[in-house]
Structure 1
Amino acid sequence: MRAMKKGLMSIVGVALLGTQLVACGNTNTANSANEPSNNTDKSEPAATETAAKPVEITWWNFPSFQALDGEVGKYEKEIIAAFNEKNPEIKVNLEMITFEGGPEKLNVAIASNTAPDVIYDAPGRIIDWGKKDLLAPLNDMVTDEVKNDISEAFWKQSSVGEEIFMYPINTAPFMMAVNKTVFEKIGALDLLPLDKEDRTWTFEEYKKALEAVKEKAPDVIPTGFFAKSQAGDQGTRAYLANLGVSRFLNEDNSAVAINTDNAAKALDWIVQATKDKLSVSGAASLAAADVNDLFLQGKLAFTLNYSAVLKAQNVSKKMVEFEDVLLPFPTLDGSEPKLEPYLGGMAVFNNGDEAKIAASKKLIDFIANDPVWGKKNLIQTGGLSVRNSITGLYDDAEYKYAEYARKFTTDAPTIADGYADIRTFWFPELQRALTGGATGKEALDSFAAKANEAITKAKAAMK
Structure 2
Amino acid sequence: MWSSKFLNEGTVCMFKKSKVWFVLLVLPLVLAACGSDGNDPAPGSSNGSSGEAASPSGEITVWAHPYVSEEKAGEMKAFWDSVIQAYNAKFPDVKVKFEEIPWKDREQKILTALSSGTGPDVFYQIPDQVPQFANQGVLAPLDDYLTDDDLADFNEGALKAGNVDGKQYALPILQETQTLIYNADIVKDIGEDPANLPTTWDEFNAWAEKAAAKGYYARDFAGAEACCNATLYPLLWQKGGDVLAEDGSVILDNEAGVATFQYIKDMYDKKWIPADSVSNKDQFPEFLSGKMMAIWGSGYTLTVLNEEKINYVIGEPLTDRTKATFGTVGMFVVSDKSKNKEAAAEFVKLLTDTENQKTFNKLTNYIPTRKSAASIHDGDEAMKKMTAIASVSRAGIVSPVARTIMPKIQAEIAAMLEGGKTPQEAASAAAAAVRDELAKVK
TM-score of Structure 1 vs Structure 2, range by shorter chain: 0.7 to 0.9
- Stretches of structure 1 lacking an aligned partner (at least 5 in a row): 1-18, 23-41
2:99 equivalent in structure 1: 95
1:399-445 deviations in Å (ceiling 9; x for gaps): 222222233234641x2232232223211111111111111111111
1:12-53 deviations in Å (ceiling 9; x for gaps): xxxxxxx9969xxxxxxxxxxxxxxxxxxx9x8358x96543
What RMSD over aligned residues (CA atoms) do the two structures have, in Å? 3.1
| Alpha carbons of structure 1 residues 315 and 46: separation in structure 2 relative to 1, 3 Å | farther
Given candidates 224, 231, 238, the residue that maps to 1:228 is 224
- Stretches of structure 2 lacking an aligned partner (at least 5 in a row): 1-18, 23-43
| Alpha carbons of structure 1 residues 448 and 420: separation in structure 2 relative to 1, 3 Å | same
Given candidates 396, 400, 417, the residue that maps to 2:384 is 400
Amino acid at match of 1:237: L
1:106-129 deviations in Å (ceiling 9; x for gaps): 223223333222112312333322
1:450 equivalent in structure 2: 433
| Alpha carbons of structure 1 residues 275 and 137: separation in structure 2 relative to 1, 3 Å | same
Report whether the alignment pairs 1:347 with 2:333: yes
Q: 2-side partners of 1:251 and 1:117: how far apart?
A: 33
CA contact (8 A) 1:175 1:235 kept: no
> Within 5 Å, which residues of 2 pair with 1:51-200?
52-53=56-57, 55-64=58-67, 66-67=68-69, 70-72=71-73, 74-87=75-88, 89-184=93-188, 186=189, 188-190=191-193, 194-195=195-196
Given candidates 393, 405, 417, the residue that maps to 1:409 is 393
CA contact (8 A) 2:127 2:395 kept: no
What is the TM-score of this pair, normalised by structure 1? Answer: 0.75
1:184-228 deviations in Å (ceiling 9; x for gaps): 4x16342x5x44xxx762222112222232333x3x432111222
2:347 equivalent in structure 1: 363
1:208 equivalent in structure 2: 206
Report whether the alignment pairs 1:244 with 2:234: no
What's the offset of the Cα at 1:456? 3.6
1:240-272 deviations in Å (ceiling 9; x for gaps): 3145332232234x0232323344234233324
Report whether the alignment pairs 1:276 with 2:276: no
Amino acid at match of 1:403: T
Given candidates 267, 271, 283, the residue that maps to 1:291 is 283
SS in 2 for 1:373: helix
What's the offset of the Cα at 1:283? 1.1
> Within 5 Å, which residues of 2 pair with 1:9-28?
none
Q: 1-side partners of 2:66 and 2:422: how far apart?
A: 37
Q: 1-side partners of 2:259 and 2:56: how far apart?
A: 60
Amino acid at match of 1:428: A
Given candidates 298, 307, 313, the residue that maps to 1:325 is 313
1:436 equivalent in structure 2: 419
CA contact (8 A) 2:317 2:323 kept: yes
SS in 1 for 2:331: strand
1:282-312 deviations in Å (ceiling 9; x for gaps): 111122xx123443454432223x223x335
Q: 2-side partners of 1:389 and 1:230: how far apart?
A: 36
1:257 equivalent in structure 2: 251
SS in 2 for 1:124: coil
Amino acid at match of 2:274: V
Report whether the alignment pairs 1:45 with 2:47: yes
Given candidates 359, 366, 384, the residue that maps to 1:383 is 366
2:304 equivalent in structure 1: 314
CA contact (8 A) 1:336 1:408 kept: no
Q: 1-side partners of 2:21 and 2:253: how far apart?
A: 38
CA contact (8 A) 2:62 2:96 kept: yes
Moved more, 277-286 or 258-267: 258-267
Q: 2-side partners of 1:181 and 1:90: how far apart?
A: 55
Amino acid at match of 1:226: A
Q: 2-side partners of 1:92 and 1:323: how far apart?
A: 44
Moved more, 77-86 or 434-443: 77-86
Q: 2-side partners of 1:338 and 1:240: how far apart?
A: 8
CA contact (8 A) 1:242 1:330 kept: no
| Alpha carbons of structure 1 residues 189 and 234: separation in structure 2 relative to 1, 3 Å | same
CA contact (8 A) 2:209 2:272 kept: yes
| Alpha carbons of structure 1 residues 214 and 424: separation in structure 2 relative to 1, 3 Å | closer
SS in 2 for 1:366: helix
1:301-340 deviations in Å (ceiling 9; x for gaps): 2223x223x3355358x6x4203433244233xx441223
Moved more, 427-436 or 393-402: 393-402
2:406 equivalent in structure 1: 423
CA contact (8 A) 2:317 2:389 kept: no
CA contact (8 A) 1:237 1:248 kept: no
Q: 2-side partners of 1:352 and 1:144: how far apart?
A: 24
CA contact (8 A) 2:190 2:211 kept: no
Amino acid at match of 2:221: F
Q: 1-side partners of 2:181 and 2:349: how far apart?
A: 33
1:60-106 deviations in Å (ceiling 9; x for gaps): 21233x33x71547514432244325515444333333334223322
Percent same amino acid at aligned positions?
A: 20
Q: 2-side partners of 1:208 and 1:85: how far apart?
A: 55
2:40 equivalent in structure 1: none
CA contact (8 A) 1:367 1:377 kept: no
CA contact (8 A) 2:238 2:325 kept: no
